[in-house]
Structures are given as structure tokens and as C-alpha cells.
Chain A
Amino acid sequence: MEDSRREFLKKAGVGSLIGLGVVSAVNVVTEKKGEASSRSSNKSGTRWGMVIDMSKCPADCKICSEKCHSVHNVPEFRKPDGSADLKNEVKWLWKDNYNNVFPSKSGQFLSNNLKQKEFLVLCNHCENPPCVRVCPTQATFSRPDGIVLMDFHRCIGCRFCMAACPYGSRSFNWFDPRTEDEKHLVGGKNIDPNFPTRERGVVEKCNFCAERLAKNQIPACVEACTFGALTFGNLNDPDSEIRAVLAANNTIQRKPELGTGPSVFYIV
């Protein structure tokens, strides 16, 4: 059963490419010859990516992350006094300061704009994901379309992937995310039946809305953003909207020096 479920997830990924009609042309010509590149694994197929335009992202807006956490049944653990329980926190999409999101970038004399902004943080769906490399059971794996997924039914909860992820994108279910009690509350959320809840003891993270892509829908956060700050698309398709955005703007990735090849780009 488990294998067939994995196969389904993988095929759903391939199927979604065709469904969206974004079968990209084989594109080797545009790559400059002799360019030193360690990340050139999947030029011909699809590689999903995202551009976050921080000039369009308002400072205290949380629409996208709230939408994400609600459609994916991300639990909210609270302390007895009702405040957020940061120790047992689970999060897929959230905001943090420029200096924290880009610690290896210059932090001196930041513009007022950058000081005020909070940057969106999510799984980078790396081309060379360290989390996949270290997982001892292949519970976390890369799909052919570049999405890094979790098999919640195979994960043994060793948390090696959390130690390996250089972006802090992974969360662990320290307590049962399904039960509600006074101490650690899920937050009285309405469970969305379109996405499975998790069990205690497994790791989870942003899945680039693989379940929505399979239904020809764009990710929930992109759909929810009313400011047009998020662009999602096929990085390998030179005619895609996301490539046009990347060609027209200066963008940066998080910690590119680690060779992970993040698929999330930022317009600062």
C-alpha cells in the first residue's frame, strides 16, 4: 500500500505538469556552455519555483500564511495561558526579518525599507536538498518536478532532516496535532477534509501545494495573495511568467553558497 501511495504522489506530480499545459521545450541552448554550474539536474522537465516580490508584500499582512496553515491543517500549539507555544511550533509559511532570512547578506546600513519589511519564509524545494540526502527511509523525497515532499506514513521521526535543512523550514509534531486539550491546543481549527492531518512524531513542511497542483490549481498562498507579490511557475520553461519576472528583476536566493539550489527567489 505504501509503495503505491508513493507512486501515486510521484505520478500525480508528473500528471499535474501535463494538466497545467506547461510541458516545457527541451532547453539546452539557453544554458551558456562552459558555465560552472553544479545545479543542472533537470533542464528538460518541469521545476516548480516561486518568486516573492517584497516590494508588493505589505509589512503586517499574513493572508498567505494563514491561508496555507488553514488548508493544510497546520496545528497551532498554545501554552496554558493562551500564548503561542514556540517550543512545539509547527509552521510552513511565515515571516522573519531580512537579517534572519539572509544572514550571509550584508546587514550593515540597511535601508529603512528593509528594516521594516518582514520576509516570507518557506521550504525552498531545493534542487539538491540536504534533507532528502540525509533521510534514512526516503520518507522525504524529491519529485521529478522539483517538489520536495514528505511521506507522513514512512517518516520514523528521527529529525535528521531538521538538522540538515539550512533554512529551518521543517517542523516536528512534538505533540499530537489532532487532539485538543487545555495544555496544547490545536487552536480549535476547522479541519479541512481536503488535506490529511498528521500524526504525532513525524516531520512536516511546505509542500508547494502538491495536492492543488494535481488538480490544476496554483498554490493556496499564491491564490490568496491579493497584492500579486507571489509568482509561481515552471522555472525550466523560458516562456513562463516566472521566468519573465526573473529576467526583469534582480533576485536573490537564501544561502546560495551552500549549493542547495533553492527554487524560491526574492525581489528585495
Chain B
Amino acid sequence: MTEALPEEWLAAAEALRADGFEYFDWLGCVDEIGRRDCFRIVLVIRNLGQGAEPMMLSCLLPRDHPQIDSVQGVFAGAAWHEREAAELFGVDFVGGDHRRLLLSPGFEGTPLRKDEVLAARTGMSWPGAKEPGESEIAPNRRRMVPPGVPDPALWGNRDPSEPSADPAAVAESAVGGRVRRRRI
């Protein structure tokens, strides 16, 4: 995998294309929260004349301001992939197509970010919350919690006077398992 800085991204894509990597395979976004406060944009292209070996080009963007040049002008097929990454992660592809791809026009949020929570899971009562031998959920400091539901003290039931939770903390607390929680 070759890394490029955001300001080098477009030039790197153009240079690779000029080098024979003319086949666009895919472009994706990875949320690296928990490891580093970044999104990683990955571009995979192939040189069909050389056995179609893939070339992977990647670039790290800061999570709070993810902005990168669009490569639609180099690989037309990247347009849909960039639109998907833009709408699901909130990445700004400068010079690209800013139309929504899959989500409803009124949709709010960037659902594939790891600190974005599936509200349906937090709203629904998990059948697995009971312990063996229980018919009601009794107060218990070490409960089983399902994956996808963060600590309510961090998200949802948070004390509004406290500062907003760190995204990495929200993402980590949504892992699930047997945990110590202040409230059920």
C-alpha cells in the first residue's frame, strides 16, 4: 500500500494512471477511530496489461475535517464510490459529485462512522439482558450488554452539563459484552 498526503492525492492518482494503472477497482473509506483520529481513504486500481495486479493508494484525513480531492476526473468510475463515502462518512471530495447516492434526501447523520449509534438498538430492550434464572431485569452493576449500544452515560442519557463524549469512547463502549455500567 502506498501512502499519499492529501495534497498529493490527485497527482498520485494521475501519475499511476499514466503508468498503466487505468482500471478503477474501488475507492473506500475506513474509520480508524480507536487507533488514530483519522479516516483512511483507499483507492485500488489495476494495470490490466500487467496481470491486473492491484495498486493500493491510501491517504489519512483528520476526522474532524475530512477533505480530499475528487479523482472522478481521472477515473470516472470513482464517482459513485466517492458519493457513497461522502454520504456515509461525511468526507468532502473537493470537485466531486455531491449528490446523495443511497440515503433518503432528508437523512441526517453519517451512519458508517464508528461513533454513530444505531438508534434502534438503543431504543429496543435486549432480550439477552436478563441473567439465567431471571424474568425481570434486576439492577446489577455488571451486566451483559449487546454490541452496538454504548453506555447511556456517554450517549443518549448523558448529563447535558457534561462535555460531549469523545467519539473514541463512544465507539469503544458500544462493543458489547459484560461491562460495569453506572446505570442499566
Instruction: Tell me, yes or no, whether A binds B.
Output: no
Residue ranges of B at the interface with A (Cβ–Cβ < 8 Å): none
